Amino acid sequence: MDYNKLAELLFPEIDKTPADYEALYPARDKADDAIITRLGPSPTGFIHLGNLYGAFVDERLAHQSGGTFYLRIEDTDDKRYVEGAVETIINSLKFFDINFDEGALLDADGNQTEVGSYGPYFQSNRGPVYQAFVKDLVKQGKAYPCFLTEEEIAAIREQQEANKETTGIYGKYAEKSRNLTFEEIEANIAAGKPYVVRIKSKGNKVDPAHCLECGKSCESKYGYSFENRDGVIYIKVNDAIRGELAMPANEQDVIILKANGIPTYHFAHAVDDHLMRTTHVVRGEEWLMSLPIHVELFSFLGFDLPTYCHTAVLMKVDDETGNKRKLSKRKDPELSLDYYRNEGYHPQAVKEYLLTILNSNFEEWRAENPDADIDEFKFTTDKMSSGGALFDLNKLNDVSKDVLLKIPANELADFMIGWAREFKPEVLSLLEDKEYLTKILDLGRNDNKPRKDLIYAKQIFEFIKYFYAEHFTIEEPYPEQVSEEDANEILKRYLATYDHSDDQSQWFEKIREITADLGYAVKPKDYKKHPEDYKGSVAHVSTAIRIAIVGRSQSPDVWEIQQILGEEETKRRINALIK
Ligand code: GLU
């Protein structure tokens, strides 16, 4: 077979060669240890925690090393394209402070653009590039057109299943297609028969045609090695997260170009990551299985393997069964990144939490460096878990409490306002009184044992809403030790003696007086010892007052709350309950 002739028959319009593209996309002008990473999402419009998890690894590796992080849109499967998906990807990640240096990006006006000299960054615009590489493989006799119809493939599969053999097109099952003559191929094409292009896999049995003809293990020059295990060739690849991976070499004549001229993921991955000079491929463990295919493709194409980093699947403990399972789009709203924005999680809290599940030594580092900027932590792939990473919303909430405590109240106020503008516009005008909001958010945070009640914007608003007259309601009854009648009397006296300029001890002294006058114990321990002598204690009297001012039995210090509410509103609330 004249492979040159065959290549021209299949790709008459392709006049560029791999060498042309190598020249067009030269090695990046970066230090040797600079890491180049990419995110390659399909534009389906759904961006999830797994994407963020991977993007975070990409971003850290690139930016810690002075490298580049770029966005490539993997839109070869055009059925899945959703309008606006690229904007969603970029904006969702930007919210978490994950920014790309290069690729399919947005300009200052929010319009799509491409930045960088390794594009196009939409795979759908790279057709001629892929075809040039396929053409070259055909020329070298490493790839061939295959005209098998769906029915023929189904029949082969049936036979393989009956024989309990591996399914697919390989070995003797590939022979018919591999051995078509030039004339037969030409006639098929003239007849308009659709075809795909497959690689001519070397198979995984030790045989003289393979580089393992010596029958011993050896190093490939492309960044992996082979091993002969009882006549089966294994490939060995060092994964930056998982260490050495050994898997039987590929034996399938996998498709590299589909009948519509569009490459498969496998082929696009090899060509793009090579030409875009990606050094580290961070991707989900669902791709592990395909690694032998990628190894064979890279060696056929003469490319060095990138460093693979196969991340663990995100798991959670199922609320009902108590068992670990994968996060599911259907069952777990927290899988979607929108969830965190809607609920108003602070991006720093989510980042901080992600690092605790990403790197086993992060918590220790944080304990030693409580005030350090998160970006000072040296993230490494070898501290990543290769088993399922466990995601736990309660843990996120705990982390969030600590993170929010470190954010100054006025910045937190800006964050709350930004959140309300987008997700709770009906309260925006209230929160926009920033001075007032800042005082509220600062309440109880400056003590030795600061309060940790603030978790995420939606919860924070619920937590502080009693400060806003429109949202203030009495949510709990008076304590049972305080009768309606007594409550009325407590509030009457409280109002009568109320002086907004009292300091905290003067204020509390007045409560003590009311307590004693009405037959309650001034010292709670007296009431505990002799409950028969009192109606209750100062704690119950204070709670009755708290219910009137705050509407709840638990809250920060009432005196401080009153100082924020102001004299008028404080008196109005007490008055409103006096009968
Ligand atoms: N488009 C692939 C996906 O969405 C990308 C995988 C990779 O990063 O290589 O799963």
Query: How do residues 481-514 score in pLDDT, each as one tens digit?
Result: 999 999 999 999 999 999 999 999 999 999 999 9
C-alpha of residue 170 to centroid of ligand 1, in Å: 25
Ligand 1 atom closest to 39 (CA): 8
Cβ atoms of 44 and 12 closer than 8 Å: no
* pLDDT value, residue 224: 81
Closest CA to 310 of 217, 378, 247, 395: 247
Ligand 1 centre and the CA of 40: distance in Å? 5
Q: How much distance in Å is there from the Cα of 157 to the middle of ligand 1?
A: 28
How many CB atoms within 10 Å of residue 469?
11
- Which of 41, 36, 103, 6 lies closest to 337 in space, CA to CA? 41
Q: Which two tokens stand for residue 304?
A: 């060095």
Whether residue 216 is predicted with pLDDT greater than 70 in this model: the reply is: no
Confidence of residue 222 (pLDDT cuts 50, 70, 90): confident
Query: 38 alpha carbon to ligand 1 midpoint, in Å?
Result: 10
CA distance 290 to 244: 16
Matching residue, tokens 């393979």: 210
- Indicate the pLDDT class of residue 445, thresholds 50, 70 and 90: confident
Ligand 1 atom 3, closest CA: 41
Residue 327 pLDDT greater than 70, yes or no: yes
396 sits in which H/E element: helix 393-406
Average pLDDT over residues 45-57: 90
Atom of ligand 1 nearest to the CA of 282: 8
Best residue for ligand 1 mutational test, from 276, 279, 287 (most atoms within 8 Å of Cβ) = 287
Query: For tokens 């606006």, what's the residue?
Result: 84
**Residue to mutate, 37, 42, 281, 307, ligand 1, most ligand atoms under 8 Å from C-beta:** 42
For ligand 1, atom 8: residue with the closest CA: 283
User: How do residues 65-119 score in pLDDT, each as one tens digit?
Assistant: 999 999 999 998 766 678 888 899 999 999 999 999 999 999 999 899 999 999 9
Pick from 281, 283, 309 the residue to mutate for probing ligand 1's pocket: most ligand atoms within 8 Å of its CB.
Answer: 283
Report which secondary-structure segment, H or E, holds 526.
Answer: helix 524-529
Distance CA 544, CA 578 (A): 12
Place of tokens 């070499």: 249
Structure tokens at 181: 């003559």
> DSSP assignment of 158-186, as one string?
HHHHHTT---SSBHHHHHHHHT--HHHHH
For residue 227, the tally of other CB atoms under 10 A from its CB is 15
- Mean pLDDT, residues 358-386: 92
Helix ranges (DSSP H) in 39-126: 49-64, 85-95
Q: 286 CA distance to ligand 1 centroid (A)?
A: 10
Q: In the predicted model, is pLDDT for residue 213 greater than 50?
A: no
Find the mean pLDDT for residues 38-47.
90
CA of 318 to the centre of ligand 1 (A): 27
Q: How far is the CA of 44 from the centre of ligand 1 (A)?
A: 12
Name which of 214-228, 284-298, 535-549 the model is least confident about: 214-228
Bridge-based pairing state of the strands 255-257 and 196-199: antiparallel
279, 306 Cβ separation under 8 angstroms: yes
283 CA distance to ligand 1 centroid (A)? Answer: 6
Q: What is the pLDDT confidence band of residue 220, given thresholds at 50, 70 and 90? A: low
CA of 56 to the centre of ligand 1 (A): 15
Write down the residue that tokens 């970006």 correspond to.
375
Closest C-alpha residue for ligand 1 atom 10? 41
d(CA 198, CA 257): 7
- Strand-pair partners of 218: 226
Q: Give the helix/strand (H/E) hosting 429.
A: helix 428-431
Cα distances from 204 to residues 157, 260, 463, in angstroms, run 20, 29, 63
Q: Which helix (H) or strand (E) holds 232?
A: strand 232-239
The predicted structure's pLDDT at residue 215: 46
Residue 39, beta-bridge partner list: 71
Report pLDDT for 78: 64
- Of ligand 1's listed atoms, the one at least distance from the Cα of 286 is 10
From the CA of 7, how far away is ligand 1's center (Å)?
29
Q: From ligand 1's centre to the CA of 259, what distance in Å?
A: 21
Q: How many helices (H) and strands (E) does the chain have?
A: 24, 16
The whole-angstrom separation of Cα 236 and Cα 270 is 18
Q: What are the Cα distances from residue 254, in Å, to 147, 287, 478? A: 14, 15, 73
Chain position carrying tokens 């580092």: 365
Q: pTM, whole model, 2 decimals?
A: 0.88
The sheet carrying 225-229 orders its strands as: 218-219, 225-229, 232-239, 243-248
Q: Which atom of ligand 1 is nearest to the CA of 74?
A: 1
Rounded Cα distance between 183 and 547, Å, is 92
What is the per-residue pLDDT for 208? 53
Residue bearing the CA closest to ligand 1, atom 9: 283
Q: Which two tokens stand for residue 559?
A: 């005196």
Closest residue to atom 4 of ligand 1, CA basis = 41
Compute, in angstroms, the gap from residue 73 CA to the centroid of ligand 1.
9
What are the tokens at 123?
């795979």
Cα distance between residue 556 and residue 443, in whole Å = 7
Instruction: Please give the distance, rounded to the nearest whole angstrom, from the Cα atom of residue 82 to the centre of ligand 1.
Output: 16
Point out the ligand 1 atom lying closest to the alpha carbon of residue 41: 4
pLDDT of residue 55: 96
* Ligand 1 closest atom vs CA 283: 8
- CA-based radius of gyration for the chain: 33
Q: How far apart are CA 292 and CA 235, in angstroms?
A: 7
Question: Coil, helix or strand for 407?
Answer: coil
Q: Which residue CA neighbors atom 5 of ligand 1 most closely?
A: 40
- Taking the C-alpha atoms of residue 432 and residue 410, their distance in angstroms, rounded to an integer, is 12
Q: Which DSSP state fits 204?
A: S
DSSP summary character for residue 324: E
Confirm if 293 and 254 have CB atoms less than 8 A apart: yes
Alpha-carbon span 383 to 359, nearest angstrom:
5
369 C-alpha to center of ligand 1: Å?
A: 35
How far, in Å, from the CA of 133 to the mean position of ligand 1? Answer: 21
Q: State the angle between helix axes of 49-64 and 85-95 in degrees (0 to 180), rounded to the nearest 10.
A: 60
Please, how many CA atoms are within 13 Å of residue 514, restricted to the half-sphere of its CB? 27
pLDDT in tens, 106-159: 999 989 999 999 999 999 999 999 999 999 999 999 999 999 999 999 999 999
Output the residue whose Cα is nearest ligand 1's atom 7: 283
pLDDT-derived band at 207, boundaries 50, 70, 90: low
Q: Which residue has the tokens 């403990």?
A: 317
CB atoms within 10 A of CB 5: 13
The structure tokens listed for 445 are 């945070």
Q: Report the candidate in 579, 257, 566 with the shortest Cα–Cα distance to residue 433.
A: 566
CA atoms within 13 A on the CB side of 129: 24
Whether residue 398 has pLDDT greater than 70? yes
For ligand 1, residues with CB inside 6 Å are 40-42, 74, 269, 283
Helix or strand (DSSP H, E) at 430: helix 428-431
